[in-house]
Amino acid sequence: MNRRDFLLASGALALTARTGLAAPYVAGARPRVVIVGAGFGGAACARYLKLWEPRVHVTVIEPMDRFYSCPMSNTVLAGLNRIDDISFPYDYIRASVDRFVKDTVSGIDPRRKAVTTAGGQSFAYDRLVLSAGVELLFEQVRGYDSAAQKTIKHAWKAGPGQTGVLRRQLAAMPDGGVFVLSSPMAPLRCPPAPYERVSLIANYFRRAKPRAKIIMLDGNPDIASKKSLFLTAWQKHYGFGGDNSMIDYRPNSSPAAVDARTRTISTEFEDVKGDVLNLVPPMRAAAITGPIGARTGDNGAWCPVDYTTYESTEVPHVHILGDSILSNLSKAGALANNSGKLCASALIEIFNGRTPDPAPVVTSTCYSASTDREAFHVATVFRYDPVNKSMEVQHGSGVSDAASGKEFAYMRGWARNIWADTLGLPRAYRFGNTI
């Protein structure tokens, strides 16, 4: 260690003594960060950690071969895109981090600060970042067992085995058939997505199967997101509210049971049969957050965090991103991407013995398509309030005045930009159709 490094380390250690922060690394040391999950949050966190502080040693553990985007996946169900159009390689993230491990995490030991995988590997960490999405609670819907899951898809995590299969089922459904979509009560990943799914599948039916019907069984008491915009679109394009409505919307209809043989979903009030069933079960924070005790909020369903760093309030040195957290923050891809960057910034401050931003700001923009040519958005800015220890919505947040073709074009650009930013896609990357 030369004199300059010694003085820097000594000054940082003195700061640590005053603030109680974790000791920073000294010259030559490499803090180890293990990131579980390379979705919008985990991939963005990994990429920006290496961009902003190359000395941090970053390991990413991800079970999938490719990234499949949940945002825009409803366009695949509607036949506007192919599954390949919303799928991207991990090549650029793999090249930017120190280790990219294709495996599934099987255990976490917070005391030893170690992660083990199904493939028998073990990784030590100084900080662990969990960005593993949500756990779908199939067992809460009677009959939704492994056999039923082979034919009844949720398509709430995009990919060929979910989005691709449901798309083929819709294409094979006869004109005059019935599509039943059942979605649970909030909180859930991407609250507007069920209503966008109804809109885009209705758009597909209008073109290809004009006598088809959609029954939406909504666990919520009313449309939970962008209500006026969705209702306006349904009335304008799909006859909603009239005698010939293509959409039959039924609130307060949480799924209680499913019969795959008869293609029937049962609620507290009725049994509903369809030619194609799309059943989204209730959900909670990712399964790996449970055994370590991070999932304590909302009756043990979600993970409380410190919003200045996204560190778990229950498990030291473990940071949680994206859909798993307990918060009024949107469970959306844009929010996960933004929080991944904020977490990366906070980790760098911690490793250097400095205090992370005490009042960070994150944003979330979410587009929903209502037809194959029109869309609308909600944009929200959140700032941390250190007094209430909560994220507060800031002035200027809001929704579109109306659906439009211009917003449809914005949606397309937004999707490409967030994919490129999250995954480090180069400027010359050639996207597929992606309407």
User: Average pLDDT over the chain, rounded to whole?
Assistant: 93
Q: Give me the mean pLDDT over the 203-231 stretch.
A: 97
Residue 190 falls inside a structural domain: yes
Which domain CATH number covers 253?
3.50.50.60
Residue 373 falls inside a structural domain: no
pTM as predicted: 0.92
Cα Dmax for the chain: 82
Residue 25 falls inside a structural domain: no
Q: Is the pLDDT of residue 23 over 80?
A: no
pLDDT score at 25 = 58
Q: Is 335:310 a contact under the CB 8 Å cutoff?
A: no
Tokens 């967030």 correspond to 418
Taking the C-alpha atoms of residue 432 and residue 435, their distance in angstroms, rounded to an integer, is 9
4-8, 269-273, 331-335, 409-413: least confidently modelled range: 4-8
pLDDT score at 18 = 32
Residue 96 falls inside a structural domain: no
Q: What is the pLDDT of residues 176-189, one digit of tens each?
A: 999 999 999 999 99
Q: Is 24:9 a contact under the CB 8 Å cutoff?
A: yes
Q: What is the pLDDT of residues 100-157, one digit of tens each?
A: 999 999 999 999 999 999 999 999 999 999 999 999 999 999 999 999 999 999 999 9
Residue 199 falls inside a structural domain: yes
Q: Can you point out the beta strands (E) in 191-337?
A: 213-218, 247-250, 257-259, 264-266, 271-273, 276-279, 283-285, 305-306, 311-312, 318-320
Q: Per the structure block, which two tokens stand in for 255?
A: 């799924």
The domain total for the chain is 1
4-13, 41-50, 74-83, 173-182: least confidently modelled range: 4-13
- Nearest residue to 101 via CA among 31, 37, 33: 37
pLDDT score at 8 = 36
Strand 87-89 to strand 66-68: parallel, antiparallel, or no bridges (unpaired)? antiparallel
Q: Is the pLDDT of residue 391 over 80?
A: yes
Structural domain boundaries, residue 239: 145-282
Provide φ and ψ at 2, rounded to 5°.
Answer: -80, 175
* pLDDT band at residue 330 under the 50/70/90 scheme: confident
Q: Is the pLDDT of residue 435 over 80?
A: no
* pLDDT band at residue 12 under the 50/70/90 scheme: very low
Q: Per the structure block, which two tokens stand in for 232?
A: 């306006």
Residue 329 falls inside a structural domain: no
Q: What is the pLDDT of residues 229-239, one digit of tens each?
A: 999 999 999 99
Residue 413 falls inside a structural domain: no
Count CA atoms closer than 13 A to 172's CA, side-chain side.
9
Q: Is 357:307 a contact under the CB 8 Å cutoff?
A: no
- Beta partners for residue 182, in sequence order: 217, 279
- Nearest residue to 137 via CA among 4, 284, 275, 299: 284
Q: Give me the mean pLDDT over the 90-106 stretch.
A: 98
Q: Is the pLDDT of residue 27 over 60?
A: no
Residue 235 falls inside a structural domain: yes
